[in-house]
Amino acid sequence: MATHLLTRTDRRAGPHFALHDQITLAQGRVHEACGPSRRTFAMWLAGRMTGPVLWILPDWESDQLNPDGMLPFVDPARFLFVHARRADDLLWCTEEALRAGPVPLVVADLPGPPALTPVRRMHLAAETGATSGTAPLGLLLTPGDGGAQGIESRWHMAPAHQGRARTWRLERRRARTLPPKSWAATQTRPRAGLELTDLSTGPA
């Protein structure tokens, strides 16, 4: 009987985190959030998860997260910030944090989309980190329309506020097993997550 040297793992069978009943993100993998409200997406995700959040960002970036702006989504005290001095250090720190495993959510606030090789290394690091307990989830924040190669999924988020309603347009632009889709994401009260309305079929 023939024996294959390599097997293909079905990632759908691995652990997933339910951000919403319509949205799940594979753990032990790296995802991308882009667009002007990409940090809001990260705050939403952090607020739905438990445990510490490691946020890696460039040391030369003048914009900093505002704790008052974070409060409607998540407790700022849960965050650990790493300021990398070089672009290569951003990717290295992200990879090592995912490999270590104890932090369930690792966010890399990047100045631009990384190439395929570092993303592959991050996937492998996250798989290694999963062996020490809960599989970590990596989230790459990239400006504009993003474009990181090899990511598990890509999400675009932009403001669509109307009056006092805090609403965003959320788009799933890439996923390995799901088609593109868009929602209106509305925050009705602090720390309650976001309510989604499918823009093609009506209320969720």
Of residues 3 and 72, more confidently modeled: 72
* pLDDT over 80 at 202, yes or no: no
How many domains does the chain contain in total? 1
* pLDDT over 90 at 5, yes or no: no
Cα 115 → chain centroid: 17
Residue 185 lies in a domain: no
Residue 4 lies in a domain: no
Residue 112 lies in a domain: yes
* pLDDT over 50 at 115, yes or no: yes
Q: Can you give the pLDDT at residue 50?
A: 95
* pLDDT over 60 at 160, yes or no: yes
CA distances from 149 to 1, 32, 113, 116, 146 (A): 38, 10, 8, 5, 9
**Segment 172-180 mean pLDDT:** 93
Residue 140 lies in a domain: yes
The DSSP element (H or E) to which 93 belongs, if any, is helix 87-100
Of residues 138 and 88, more confidently modeled: 138
Q: Could you tell me the CATH number of the domain that includes residue 91?
A: 3.40.50.300
Cα 151 → chain centroid: 10
Closest CA to 91 of 99, 102, 80, 79: 99
Give percent of the chain above pLDDT 70: 92
Query: What's the predicted TM-score (pTM) here?
Result: 0.90
Buried b (16+ CB within 10 A) or exposed e, 111-143: eebbeeebbebbbebbbbbbeeebbbbbbbbbe
Measured distance CA(51)–CA(47) in Å, rounded = 10
Burial of residue 109 (number of CB atoms within 10 Å: 0-12, 13-18, 19+): buried
Q: Can you give the pLDDT at residue 13?
A: 61
**Segment 5-24 mean pLDDT:** 71
**Domain that includes residue 108, residue range:** 16-154
Per-residue pLDDT tens digits for 121-138: 999 999 998 887 789 999
Q: Can you give the pLDDT at residue 114?
A: 96
Measured distance CA(92)–CA(76) in Å, rounded = 24
Residue 124 lies in a domain: yes
What's the chain's length in residues?
Answer: 204
Q: Token pair of 193, please?
A: 């997550």
Of residues 202 and 158, more confidently modeled: 158
Measured distance CA(204)–CA(189) in Å, rounded = 17
- In three-state secondary structure terms, 102 is coil
Residue 195 lies in a domain: no
Residue 196 lies in a domain: no
**Segment 150-165 mean pLDDT:** 93
Q: What is the mean pLDDT of the chain?
A: 90
